[in-house]
């Protein structure tokens, strides 16, 4: 049973690794959209998994008897509130950065005088 599970994990990992490479070679408008949606879905799965595995220990630690008399003891779901606030702030930063790069694409460009590696400008 463990060998079958390992083979399934290997096959899906191989598929997930080769899929972007194959779509880059046959880049069409719909392929690019599908690739972007796949990246966003994968990031969502990773974040959701991390959230699910970290929220319970965080809640238990913030409800510890050692923290009596603090703001953590007064509001039991403090860990969830911090997690949701962090997700909201991260989303706002991402949307703001995307809007900024869309408005001025030259922001992401690297100055060739600075990036040539030796730290000296070539004047």
> What is the model's pLDDT at position 54?
85
pLDDT-flagged residues of the chain (< 70): 23-32, 107-123
> Which ranges in 63-77 belong to alpha helices (H)?
71-74
Determine contact, residues 97/108, Cβ cutoff 8 Å.
no
Query: Under the phi-then-psi rule, with left for phi > 0, alpha for psi from -120 to 50, and beta for the rest, what region is 68?
Result: beta
> What is the model's pLDDT at position 21?
75
> Which ranges in 1-123 belong to alpha helices (H)?
2-25, 29-62, 71-74, 78-103
Q: Which two tokens stand for residue 96?
A: 């703001």
> What is the model's pLDDT at position 116?
52
> What is the model's pLDDT at position 27?
59
What single-letter DSSP state applies at residue 76?
A: T
> What is the model's pLDDT at position 73?
72
Backbone angles phi, psi at 13, to 5 degrees: -65, -40
> What is the model's pLDDT at position 90?
86
Q: Which two tokens stand for residue 93?
A: 């930063």
> What is the model's pLDDT at position 29?
58
> What is the model's pLDDT at position 80?
83
> What is the model's pLDDT at position 117?
53
> What is the model's pLDDT at position 112?
55
Tokens 């100055």 identify what position? 111
> What is the model's pLDDT at position 41?
84
pTM strictly above 0.85: no
State the Cα–Cα distance between residues 28 and 10, nearest whole angstrom: 28
State the Cα–Cα distance between residues 34 and 24, nearest whole angstrom: 11
């Amino acid at each position: 049973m463990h060998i079958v599970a390992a083979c399934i994990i290997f096959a899906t990992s191989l598929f997930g690794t080769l899929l972007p490479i194959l779509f880059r070679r046959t880049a069409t408008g719909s392929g690019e959209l599908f690739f972007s949606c796949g990246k966003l879905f994968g990031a969502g799965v990773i974040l959701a998994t991390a959230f699910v595995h970290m929220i319970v220990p965080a809640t238990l630690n913030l409800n510890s008897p050692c923290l009596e008399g603090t703001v953590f003891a007064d509001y039991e779901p403090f860990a969830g509130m911090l997690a949701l606030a962090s997700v909201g702030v991260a989303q706002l930063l991402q949307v703001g950065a995307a809007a900024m790069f869309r408005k001025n694409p030259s922001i992401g460009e690297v100055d060739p005088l600075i990036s040539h590696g030796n730290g000296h400008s070539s004047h």
